[in-house]
Amino acid sequence: MPPFPSSPEALAALIASQLPLLHAALLASALLLVTALQFANGRLHANGAYSRRRVAQIGITVMLYGAAGFTAVALAVNNGSVLVDFDDALVGALSRSLDAHTLHLFARLTRFGDTETLTALGVTGALLLLWRRQHLLAATWVAAIAGNSLLNVSLKAMFQRVRPVHEHGYAAETSWSFPSGHASGTLVAYGVLAWVALRLLPARWHLPVLWIAVAIALTTGLSRIVLQVHFASDVLAGLCSGSAWLALCITVAEWVRRRAPIQTDGKH
């Protein structure tokens, strides 16, 4: 068994050389986790333990972990820690090792998080939900997607991190780098899409919908690293901030949705 890399440069070279395997392992781990959480969620429903308090506890926990993760990454980047050395080394390793076919593939996959794609998804979804008179879902949908976009723009302006050099021609970005808008945007947009689907679709579709949402979010985030338009820490920070914002939106929506029947019952 080879020794674990002892420097940021060695770790970056290992990741760059094993990128397809690492991508597959990351997706497999995430899908297994989602499956376990969905199973636990079903057990809570069956046992009658899925209360407003439980929803709030889960949502607040995710928000705190997301905010804490973002803060830790932001501090590490601001302080010029070993994470910054790893970021630089990984960009260099990827630029030397990736072929045109891989870059072309991830240039296509990254479009799931393009501004045009998420805008079209946001507008279409909001209109469909309003047409179906799903006003709470529509409000949550708009708040999640539009709110995350404003949050990301604000965070970029606050940190003003310059992007890594990327001259391969398969992608070009000029805005600030930290945190990744593609990473947070896809997690929030496809995450809230999955949440809406859980509310409207039969139970047999729940797990496949969650799998698809997770796969899109992780693959799009990874594509930003592969294309060298973001540092790895940018993507990690984007996933953390997106998780916190999505958890906040869904927690508020679930609290409102579960409060309404109690108010109605109290009038009888």
pLDDT, one tens digit per residue, over 245-263 is: 999 999 999 888 777 654 4
Q: Is residue 9 part of a domain?
A: no
- Identity of the residue numbered 215: A
Residue 184 lies in a domain: yes
Q: What was the pLDDT predicted at 15?
A: 80
Whether 3 is in a domain gets the answer: no
Please answer whether residues 186 and 113 qualify as being in contact, where contact means their C-beta atoms are separated by less than 8 angstroms: yes
Q: What angle do CA 221, 223, 227 make, to 5 degrees?
A: 130
Question: Which pair of structure tokens corresponds to residue 9?
Answer: 């440069």
Residues 94-132 have pLDDT tens digits of 888 888 898 999 999 999 999 999 999 999 999 999 999
Residue 227 counted as domain residue: yes
CATH code where residue 52 lies:
1.20.144
Distance of CA 156 to the CA centre of its chain: 16
How many CB atoms are closer than 10 A to CB 58?
18
- State residue 180 phi and psi, 5-degree precision: -70, 120
User: What does R_g of the chain's alpha carbons equal in angstroms?
Assistant: 20
**Would you say residue 43 has pLDDT above 60?**
no
In-domain check, residue 125: yes
**Model pTM score:** 0.88
| Residue 2 pLDDT grade (very low, low, confident, very high; cuts 50, 70, 90) | low
In a domain? residue 263: no
Residue 91's nearest CA partner among 158, 177, 5 is: 177
Q: Which of the pair, 268 or 260, is modelled with greater confidence?
A: 260
6, part of any domain: no
Mean pLDDT of 77-89: 89
Task: Kindly state the average pLDDT of the residues 38-51.
Answer: 59
Question: Is residue 15 assigned to a domain?
Answer: no
Split into its structural domains, the chain has a count of 1
Return the HEC string of 4-52: CCCCHHHHHHHHHHCHHHHHHHHHHHHHHHHHHHHHHHHHHHHCCCCCH
pLDDT averaged over the chain? 85
Q: What is the pLDDT of residues 169-187, one digit of tens each?
A: 788 788 899 999 999 999 9
Q: Which domain holds residue 186?
A: 21-258
- The Cα 220–Cα 240 span in angstroms is 15
Please compute the mean of the pLDDT values over residues 224-242 and round it to a whole number.
94
The answer to whether residue 47 scores a pLDDT higher than 70 is no
Between these two residues, 89 and 57, which has the higher pLDDT value? Answer: 89
Res 193: pLDDT: 94
Specify whether the CB–CB gap between 241 and 73 falls below 8 A. Answer: no
